[in-house]
A = this chain, B = another copy of it.
Amino acid sequence: MNSNADSFRKELENIRRSQEKLENSFPEIQTELKAIKSRMNNAEKRISDVEDRIMEITQSGQQTQNLMKKHESNMRDLWDNIKRANIYIIGIPEGEENEKGIENTFEEIMAGNFPNIKETDIKIQESQWAPKKLNPNRHTPKHIIIKMAKAKIKERILKAAREKQSINYKGTLVSLSTDSSTETLQARMEWQDIFKVLKGKKVAT
């Protein structure tokens, strides 16, 4: 029995030591868990702050978009104001206009198609070739821009142009329109499609 009791005592001692080891490591784990929970709280707080900032940034970005749309519309208005007295002419055959000058060509179109508008009323401020907006590389006929002295003369001429079935210059069909921003550009592109059909696709667009 003595040897038995010794063996039990030894065994119990081993178990107790192992148990102590476990008991000691337990608060370590709890300390680690506590630290992780604290970091987690902190991380969640930071994520919430970041989410709030992203909400604010998104709202501010929306305001920026709206303001930029207003700026675009404002710039369109500026262009329309600058070009308010302009008449945009499509369809003058190339070469024709160099001989006599753009303004003579315009005066000839006016005299030939609108005899009711007095020559003295048609006061030109300046004239120029239209910059090739749509596609600078495409082989398109050059367009002409005539800046009238007053917007009212332009309006009167364009009203008369709309009422006339077709406007001709030396046997060729030409079109007179306003010289304004994107919306009108769209209309002009459609006009050019009509031109293609009317002219039997002689004009390359």
Contact = CB atoms under 8 A, between A and B. Distances in A.
Interface of A: 1, 4-5, 8, 11-12, 15-16, 18-19, 22-23, 25-26, 29-30, 32-33, 36-37, 39-40, 43-44, 46-47, 50-51, 53-54, 57-58, 60-61, 64-65, 67-68, 71-72, 74-75, 78-79, 81-82, 85, 125-126, 128, 149-152
User: Which 10 A-B pairs give the minimum distances between C-beta atoms?
Assistant: A126-B150, A46-B47, A53-B54, A74-B75, A50-B50, A32-B33, A78-B78, A11-B12, A39-B40, A4-B5
Contacts of A152: 126
A45 to B, nearest CB: 10
Contacts of A57: 54, 57-58, 61
A152 B74 CA distance: 27
Contacts of A11: 12
17 contacts: A8-B8, A15-B15, A18-B19, A22-B22, A29-B33, A33-B33, A36-B36, A39-B44, A40-B43, A43-B44, A47-B47, A61-B61, A68-B68, A74-B75, A78-B78, A81-B82, A126-B149
Given A1-B5, A40-B43, A50-B50, 17 more contacts: A8-B8, A8-B12, A19-B19, A19-B22, A22-B23, A32-B37, A46-B47, A50-B51, A53-B54, A54-B54, A57-B57, A57-B58, A61-B64, A75-B78, A78-B82, A85-B126, A128-B151
